[in-house]
Amino acid sequence: MTRTIICLARHGETNWNIERRFQGQFDIALNARGRAQAQALAHELDGAHFDRVYASDLRRALATAAPIAASRGLEVRATQRLREKDDGAWQGHTHAEVQVKYADDYPHYLSRKPDFAAPEGETLEEFARRVRLVLTDIARESAGLTVLVVAHAGVLDIAWRIATGKALSEKREHPVLNATPNWIAYDDGEWSLVDWARPEGRAEIAAPWDGVALPRREAARALIVEPAGRALLMQYAGGLSPHFLALGHHHFWATPGGALKEGETFEAALRREVAEETGLLLRGDVGPVVATREFPMELGEDWHQAIERYFLIRTEEFAPAPQSLTPEEKVHLLGWRWWSADEIAASQELIFPEGLEALLRKVNP
């Protein structure tokens, strides 16, 4: 009998986890706690032997797998087949937003209806078949070995059901914890559960904002889109966290906009910021809010509770002409460029907000 041992780990925490936002196959990075969780997982598995390391090709999984693979001199075998379930049109929205907008469909998600799919997404049955196939392929090509697989909560949920024989609609006994090892085995075509992590007795991994009353930072951001579907991004310097500086980033791209001044509304701040940074004057209705966010944000070495609204502004292509910038703002504003969704997705530059390419595609169906 040839036995393959698979250690399964979910990626570390992201800001979208905090916001209870459907991530699906959007490529969202780890936050500060998630990065600490990845290091803690690597330390927890110090004594474990792995012959191979597999991971979803999304950056939150790759970043969780990287320190474990690097310490053993192994490459991370990245594959799209280990991605989270595709939740289609729900991706990028919070659970609360989906519950309101898709009131008739959301209960099917909660009840784990096997043949239900969010618009443009996978059904649970389709997802389960994909996960079973990729895990079986990994087990067979790694026969007799011990491998690490870093993926997503949905992937681990299906793996648990494969190993226990539980139906897709049955309630899982224990949660899928971030960056925590779970073990299953494959013996000549048969799956079994070796060990599944439980929250009891596990140390919480601290984040810099834990137990701190963070100051609120409300901001209005403009998603300015020209007829070809490209978005205007401005290039900025300054304000980067030590984490990004350590990675070699000294500037970043972001949608125009900024923090509200005292007594300002989001709409008033949007008009002021857009005029200052691009020279575009917004008259009448400023446009619909296409995204809202609330998450801990690091500005330099300080943490704030960011509350952001993104307004869609459709306009002809133009060359920005910044107006009334302070001397400090002139130093920080380095340039501008129109970006397509494909260019954003392929770029190695630092671009905010997370998931911008997907948002851009959603407003340009």
Please give the angle made by the CA atoms of 94, 95 and 100, to the nearest 5 degrees. Answer: 100
Q: In the numeric block, which tokens belong to residue 214?
A: 């963070």
The pLDDT, as a whole number, for residue 274 is 97
> What is the C-alpha to C-alpha distance for residues 83 and 131, in angstroms, rounded to an integer?
9
The pLDDT, as a whole number, for residue 1 is 66
The pLDDT, as a whole number, for residue 198 is 94
Distances (CA, A) of 194 to 178, 240, 276: 19, 43, 60
Give DSSP secondary structure letters for 169-224: TSPPSS---BT--EEEEEETTEEEEEE---STTPPPPP-TTTT--PPEEEEEEEEE
* Domains by residue range for the chain, with CATH: 3-195 (3.40.50.1240), 217-363 (3.90.79.10)
Instruction: Determine the residue type at 235.
Output: Q
Q: What's the distance, CA 166 to chain centroid?
A: 28
The pLDDT, as a whole number, for residue 349 is 94
Distances (CA, A) of 364 to 36, 89, 136, 339: 36, 13, 38, 13
Q: In the numeric block, which tokens belong to residue 324?
A: 């009334």
Torsion region of 249: left, alpha or beta (phi above 0 gives left; psi -120 to 50 gives alpha) = beta
**Residue 8 near residue 135, CB atoms below 8 Å:** no
Residues marked active site are found at 11, 84
C-beta neighbour count of 214 within 10 angstroms: 14
Give DSSP secondary structure letters for 13-70: --HHHHTTB--TTS-----HHHHHHHHHHHHHTTT---SEEEEESSHHHHHHHHHHHH
> What is the C-alpha to C-alpha distance for residues 178 and 199, in angstroms, rounded to an integer?
10
> What is the C-alpha to C-alpha distance for residues 353 and 349, in angstroms, rounded to an integer?
12
C-alpha closest to that of 61 among 47, 76, 46, 45: 76
Q: Per-block average pLDDT, block size 10, for the chain (365 residues)? A: 94 97 96 97 97 98 98 98 97 95 96 96 98 98 98 98 96 92 96 96 94 96 98 93 90 96 97 96 93 93 95 97 88 95 95 94 89
Residue bearing tokens 């900025």: 236
The percent of the chain in helix, strand and coil, each rounded to the nearest 5, is 30, 25, 40
Instruction: Determine the residue type at 49.
Output: H
> What is the C-alpha to C-alpha distance for residues 23 and 229, in angstroms, rounded to an integer?
23
Give the list of residues 6+ apart from residue 268 with CB closer than 8 angstroms, or none.
Answer: 260
Please give the angle made by the CA atoms of 299, 340 and 328, to the nearest 5 degrees. Answer: 30
| pTM value surpassing 0.85 | yes
